């Protein structure tokens, strides 16, 4: 059984999800978007209270609100950061994507990421995560799916009853995965 805790960070209210399997001390951190030291401390205090130590950071995509706290977290927990390589440009120069949000000023990240591809299976936090490449919101957007627990980390690809916007830089409404994202369930047991 997989346990999870969702944190909401930064002015955009981005979800960060911590996941760990029964009896495991290692946990997975998906999209650590903390924009403040308070957010970082909240997350670290949770790990310590639960006796957890992150063993990986999973990024669903490279948008700044999902990666805001990665460097600060790596200072404490130097773990691999997994991301699809098609989002490396967004990660290093998000200003070209978020032209109307310059006040946030956190658009340039120099993070060493480990490339992932559609179909890869990562084992982190005691769980196996299948990578599903879902471009459209960003070129390198992915979902992570735990078949054992029927749990999907969808980032901004899917929301309850809707899909993520595709009009930002690098987005693609007509990409081949759009029908898949709108109409299909790639994950048995998960209604979409």
The least distance separating Zn ion from the CB of residue 152, rounded to whole angstroms, comes to: 16
Secondary structure (DSSP) of 29-66: EE-----SHHHHHHHHHHHHHHT-EEEEEE-S---HHH
The least distance separating Zn ion from the CB of residue 32, rounded to whole angstroms, comes to: 14
Question: Which CB, 122 or 163, lies closer to Zn ion?
Answer: 163
Question: Which CB, 55 or 87, lies closer to Zn ion?
Answer: 87
Question: Which CB, 109 or 126, lies closer to Zn ion?
Answer: 109
The least distance separating Zn ion from the CB of residue 141, rounded to whole angstroms, comes to: 8
Question: Which CB, 39 or 140, lies closer to Zn ion?
Answer: 140
Question: Which CB, 63 or 84, lies closer to Zn ion?
Answer: 63
- Can you read off the two tokens belonging to residue 192? 């979409």
The separation between CA 151 and the C-alpha centre of its own chain, rounded to angstroms, equals 14
The least distance separating Zn ion from the CB of residue 62, rounded to whole angstroms, comes to: 8
CA dist., res. 142 & res. 122, Å (int): 13
The least distance separating Zn ion from the CB of residue 76, rounded to whole angstroms, comes to: 25
Contact criterion met (CB below 8 Å) for 36 and 42: no
Q: Are strands 26-30 and 127-133 parallel, antiparallel or unpaired?
A: unpaired
Question: Which CB, 24 or 35, lies closer to Zn ion?
Answer: 35
CA dist., res. 148 & res. 131, Å (int): 14
CA dist., res. 182 & res. 146, Å (int): 20
Q: Which residues of 71-103 are buried (b: 16+ CB within 10 A; e: fewer)?
A: ebbbeebebebbbbebbbbbbeebbebbeebee
The least distance separating Zn ion from the CB of residue 168, rounded to whole angstroms, comes to: 7
Residues that bind Zn ion in the complex, under the rule CB under 5 A: 63, 156
């Amino acid at each position: 059984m997989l346990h999870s805790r969702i944190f909401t960070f930064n002015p955009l209210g981005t979800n960060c999800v911590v996941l760990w399997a029964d009896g495991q001390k290692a946990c997975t951190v998906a999209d650590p978007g903390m924009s403040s030291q308070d957010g970082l401390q909240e997350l670290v205090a949770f790990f310590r209270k639960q006796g957890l130590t992150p063993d990986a950071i999973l990024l669903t995509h490279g948008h700044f609100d999902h990666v805001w706290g990665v460097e600060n977290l790596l200072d404490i927990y130097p773990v691999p950061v997994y991301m699809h390589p098609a989002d490396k440009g967004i990660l290093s120069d998000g200003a070209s994507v978020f032209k109307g949000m310059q006040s946030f000023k956190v658009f340039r990240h120099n993070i060493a990421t480990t490339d992932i591809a559609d179909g890869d299976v990562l084992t982190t936090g005691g769980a196996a995560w299948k990578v599903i490449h879902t471009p459209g919101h960003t070129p390198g957007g992915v979902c992570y799916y735990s078949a054992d627990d029927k749990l999907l980390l969808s980032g901004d690809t899917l929301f309850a009853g809707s899909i993520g916007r595709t009009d930002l830089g690098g987005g693609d409404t007509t990409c081949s995965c759009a029908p898949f994202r709108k109409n299909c369930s790639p994950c048995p047991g998960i209604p979409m």
